[in-house]
Structure 1
Amino acid sequence: MMMLYAVAAADADHAAATDDTSLQAHRYDDVTVFAEPLTDTPERSTREVLAFGRVLQQLWSHHPVLPVRFGTIVSDETELAQLVAERESAWTERLTAVAGRSEIIVHLPLPSDAAPDPEPDEPVESGAAYLRRRAAEVRRHDLETAELKAVLAPYASETAVLPQVRTGEARLSALVPDELVETARAAVEKWATNWSWATVTGPWPPFSFCQETEA
């Protein structure tokens, strides 16, 4: 039994296997698959997931990889070869798309669902006023997002709306060539001065653009 970690190009360096795991590189015509032999099904704990993530980060420090969803298991090398035969073309295409690129993430405020607390002696907001305010905030957010995509367009080959992880915050990720990351960040930061709150983080490994690796 093997747990899959990541897919890389066929010429990936075997030395990318980390010291703290028994990671192995399985080479095929167009891709290399990094996997760890196991005797038991991996525990789906926070500790194990974080350890898995650290291995992915280390692999990426050597060369572009597509992370495989945590807990993906194949019984043996025959099953792995069958999986590669089915997915090799898609994996190769996605590796080409992310090679030499990183992602930056812009964090944007979401429109509030709640009515603001009134100041002392201030009348409570009516239902109609709340709906008008809410509609105006949604329009502002839509405009903000559209403007942000336009700012990123000269630099990003792809953008993606990421799942919400913090209350009141939206995230837009952009896939940017490494040599343009700082320029793209500066453009976003300059644009953000026109808005009440928006921040940019990264560069990060472009794992948000590796969906094709789910098996």
Structure 2
Amino acid sequence: MLLYAVAAADADSMVGAVETPLEPHRSRGLTVFAEPRTQPPERSTRELLDFGRVLHQLWSYVPVLPMRFGTVVNDEDELDQLVAEREAEWTERLCAVTGHSECIVHLPLPDRARSGRTGTDYLRRRATEVKEHDAETAELRALLAAYASEITPLRPVRPQESRLSVLVADEQVEDVRTAIEDWAAARSGATVTGPWPPFSFCQEIGE
């Protein structure tokens, strides 16, 4: 079985309308969504994208913790053993993300090409820019602390950009987006995207 996600025990009754190849397996106090497979999945872009698409479909119905892509078990006995080992940890994390969404703040980094200097002047300029960026990031974190239950840095996906992800209660999503946009307007031109499923805070699970 290829494992996709872990959810609360009653999740199987909430996702019956989802058109996926998944089967829910209740184990102890949790439900694990899995796809029957005779072979492990290919490590291909297509398989990975399909996996992500199914996870987003599931989240539209019920909070889930994504499994690491490619996590497999041989049978339900092995699945039950895995759940028994991790139930407390997974239940705690499910409680943390339930009723929450993820917003991502994109912060421009100092542009190295702008400096156009060499030697000591360049290094001083770079040090000043990094210090200013760090101060701006700290100021943003202080602002977000009023809304976010958790904040985590993300790996950059674009050059000259850093990212912060914010876990925020669903009812506060618009408030936090407005606060970030107001803060950014007079500063570095930071932007915010989301709300997204809070997968950055799910501590991807699996073997």
Per the shorter chain, which TM-score range?
Answer: over 0.9
In the TM superposition, what is the alpha-carbon distance from 1:15 to its structure 2 partner?
5.4
What's 1:86 paired with? 85
Report the counterpart of residue 168 of structure 2 in structure 1. 176
AA aligned to 1:178 is D
Does residue 139 (structure 1) correspond to residue 137 (structure 2)? The answer is no
Give the Cα separation in 2 of the matches to 1:88 and 1:94.
Answer: 10
1:13 aligns with 2:5: no
SS in 2 for 1:73: coil
- The number of equivalent residue pairs is 206
| Aligned equivalent of 1:195 | 187
- Could you state the TM-score of these two structures normalised by the residue count of structure 2? 0.95
Gaps of 5+ in 2: none
Unaligned runs of 5+ in 1: 119-124
2:7 touches 2:63 (CA, 8 Å); kept in 1?
Answer: yes
Give the greater-gyration-radius structure (CA): 1
Task: Look up the match of 1:72.
Answer: 71
Conserved? CA contact 1:108–1:199, under 8 Å: yes
Deviation at 1:16, TM superposition (A): 1.9
Aligned 1:107-186 pairs, distance under 5 A? 107-112=106-111, 114-116=112-114, 118=116, 125-186=117-178
Equivalent residues of 2:115, 2:125 under 8 A apart: no
What CA deviation, in whole Å up to 9, does each residue of 1:156-214 have, x standing for no partner?
Answer: 00000011111111110000000000001000000001213200000000000011523
- Listed one character per residue, the Cα deviations across residues 33-90 of structure 1 (whole Å, up to 9, x for unaligned) are 0000101110111111111111001100111000001111111111111110110100
Given that 2:109 and 2:133 are in contact with CA atoms closer than 8 Å, whether structure 1 keeps it comes out as yes
Contact 1:16 1:58 survives alignment (8 Å): no
Aligned: 1:96 with 2:88:
no
8 Å Cα contact 1:94-1:212 kept in structure 2 = no
SS at 1:12 equivalent: helix
Aligned CA-pair RMSD: 1.4
- Worse overlay, 24-33 or 176-185: 24-33
- SS of structure 1 residue aligned to 2:104: strand
Over the matched positions of the two proteins, sequence identity in percent amounts to: 65
CA shift, 1:143, in A, is 0.7
Show structure 1 runs of 4+ deviating over 4 A: none
Query: What is the DSSP-based 3-state SS (H/G/I as helix, E as strand, rest coil) of the residue aligned with 1:75?
Result: coil
2:176, 2:19 → 1: CA distance? 35
Say if 1:103 and 1:202, in contact at 8 Å, map to a contact too. yes
Aligned residue in 1 for 2:37: 38
Does the 8 Å CA contact 1:90/1:212 hold for their aligned counterparts? Answer: no
TM-score between both structures, scaled by the size of structure 1: 0.91
- Partners of 1:101 and 1:149 lie apart in 2 by 18
CA contact (8 A) 1:4 1:68 kept: yes
The amino acid of 1:66's aligned partner reads L
Partner of residue 58, structure 2: 59
- The question of whether the paired residues in 2 share the 8 Å contact of 1:159 and 1:173 is answered with yes
**Partner SS state of residue 72, structure 1:** coil
